[in-house]
Amino acid sequence: MDDAKILPRKGGTHIDSTMKNTLRTADKPSPTPAQPLTAEARPVQQQQRRNPPIAGELTAIAQAQQGDGASFEILYNMHKRRVYSLCLRMLGNVAEAEDLTQEAFLQLHRKIGTFRGDSAFSTWLHRMAVNVVLMHLRKKGLPLVSLEETLEPAQDDGPRKDFGTRDLTLSGSIDRVTLERAVEELPPGYRLVFVLHDVEGYEHNEIAAMLQCSIGNSKSQLHKARMRLRSLLRQKANGKGAA
Amino acid sequence: MTSNRSRTSIECEEFQRQLPEFFDSGQDLLVHRHVQSCQNCSSLVRDLEYIAAQAKLLLPIHDPSPAVWENIHNALTRQQKDDDKSS
């Protein structure tokens, strides 16, 4: 494969010594949050936990920015699983998730020259992927935060519905596969907020900006998502759920 | 007895109404006065905290099919050819 020949980027950004320093700093995430609503605003520890530095990534970024196709393929292989898993969890559909993974990496190829290392590369890329998914959902005309779910919560969703005595607690009873399946069963609006907040680690102010809803709405949707998950997981724990 | 039950219910309702904000504040809800006196809300808080904690442990486990890279590669090749023609 001669990607190196087919992917020269005209006007690709060169990395000067200042930028190299910035990129090195990005590998040890910046100690000072920048502005709200950006990936940089997320707690450093959280970014590091979610997006640990990857060996060889800085070199691949620098070379891909100069048009090296093989380095772009290396970046794809480093990040494809994370980007695809994010798309799949947000969409719940394999074909759409693959299409949007493709679109996210094509967008990365177009924009990689603008990456300046202000945040970890993976944080920057994942935010790009989230935006690709949200734009896709908007184009389909799907409400990102369901009004119906907000105004008329289902039986298990309402915060005032849980007054009965319960014996079982979930603690220790959930395995990863069971939780993944339960997340897939969430209504789309709940699933988006849950994946963005609890799985991907975005803050409510970031989610509100992305979904164009209020922060309170984001908190409310997240709470309802967790309540619905609790109900689903209890059913599964009792053997009544997944057939 | 009935009034005790309804008072408890009102306390539960008020506590659960505020739960989204309580969770977001990061405070330790298990030491909240109502949680310490209400088994039901204590169970609810433990479950929701457990779900949030488990979600953070979900790893990216899914790989896209090889066709995804092939499509990306083909698209970039086409784009390159178009760029070459126009220059």
pLDDT, tens digit, 9 for 90 and up, residues A151-163: 444 444 444 455 5
CB pairs under 8 A between A and B: 135
> Global pTM?
0.75
Q: What domains can be seen in chain A, in order of their start residue?
A: 3-139 (1.10.1740.10), 147-237 (1.10.10.10)
Q: Do A180 and B58 touch (CB under 8 A)?
A: yes
Is the pLDDT score of A25 beyond 70?
no
Give the range among A89-93, A205-209, B15-19, B79-83 with minimum mean pLDDT.
B79-83
The residue that leads in pLDDT, B30 or B6, is B30
CB A44 within 8 A of CB A33: yes
- With DSSP H G I counted as helix, E B as strand and the rest as coil, what are the percentages for chain B, rounded to 5? 80, 0, 20
- What is the least distance, in Å, from the CA of B66 to any CA of chain A? 10
Q: For chain A, what is the largest distance between any 2 Cα atoms, rounded to a whole number of angstroms?
A: 67
CB distance A81 to B60 below 8 Å: yes
Provide the pLDDT confidence category of residue B49 given band limits of 50, 70 and 90.
Answer: very high
Task: Supply the pLDDT for residue A17.
Answer: 36
Q: Which residue has the tokens 């178009």?
A: B82
Percent of chain A, pLDDT > 70? 66
Q: By the CB < 8 Å criterion, does B7 face chain A? A: no
Confidence of residue A176 (pLDDT cuts 50, 70, 90): confident
Residues B19-28: contacts with CB under 8 Å, at least 24 apart = B19/A159, B19/A223, B19/B44, B19/B45, B19/B48, B20/A159, B20/A219, B20/A220, B20/A222, B20/A223, B21/A219, B23/A219, B23/A223, B23/B48, B23/B49, B23/B52, B24/A204, B24/A219
In this predicted model, what pLDDT tens digit does every residue of A181-203 receive, in sequence order?
999 999 988 999 999 999 999 99
Where in chain B are the domains?
A: 2-86
CB contact under 8 A, B39 and A165: yes
DSSP letter for A138, please: H
Q: Do A226 and B51 touch (CB under 8 A)?
A: yes
Residue of chain B whose alpha carbon sits nearest to that of A82: B60
Q: Report pLDDT for B26.
A: 84
Can you tell me the distance from the alpha carbon of A113 to that of A171, in angstroms, rounded to the nearest whole number?
46
CA nearest to A230, candidates B59, B41, B50:
B50
**Which segments of A51-93 does DSSP mark as H helices, in order?**
57-65, 69-91
CA distance A200 to B65: 22
| pLDDT value of position A173 | 73
Q: For A114-143, what is the mean pLDDT? A: 91
Confidence at residue A101, expressed as pLDDT on a 0 to 100 scale: 98
User: Nearest chain A Cα to B47, which residue?
Assistant: A170
Least confident of A22-31, A42-51, A62-71: A22-31
Assign A16 a pLDDT band (cuts: 50, 70, 90). Answer: very low
Tell me whether residues B68 and A102 touch, CB distance under 8 A. Answer: yes
Mean pLDDT across chain A, nearest whole number?
76
- Residue-level pLDDT at B70: 97
Q: Say yes or no for a CB contact (<8 Å) between B16 and A160.
A: yes
The rounded distance, in Å, linking the Cα atoms of A175 and A61 is: 36
- pLDDT range class, residue A11, cuts 50, 70, 90: very low
Q: Which residue of A has its CA nearest to B71?
A: A102
pLDDT at A40: 47
A104 pLDDT more than 90: yes
Give burial (CB, 10 Å; 0-12/13-18/19+) of A104. buried
SS3 B50: helix
Under the banding of pLDDT at 50, 70 and 90, the label for residue A148 is: very low
In angstroms, the CA A171 to CA A142 distance is 35
**Chain-chain contact of B58 with A199 (C-beta, under 8 angstroms):** yes
Q: How many whole angstroms separate alpha carbon A198 and alpha carbon A56?
A: 29
Chain B residues with beta carbon closer than 8 angstroms to that of A159:
13, 16-17, 19-20
Closest partner residue to B55 (CB to CB) among A106, A171, A198 is: A198
| Residue A20: per-residue pLDDT | 36
- A232 vs A34 pLDDT, higher one: A232
Residue type, A43: P
Percent of chain B past pLDDT 70, that is, above it, reads 91
Contact yes or no for A14/A80 (Cβ under 8 A): no
- Picking from A238-242, B20-24, B46-50, which range would have the lowest pLDDT averaged per residue? A238-242
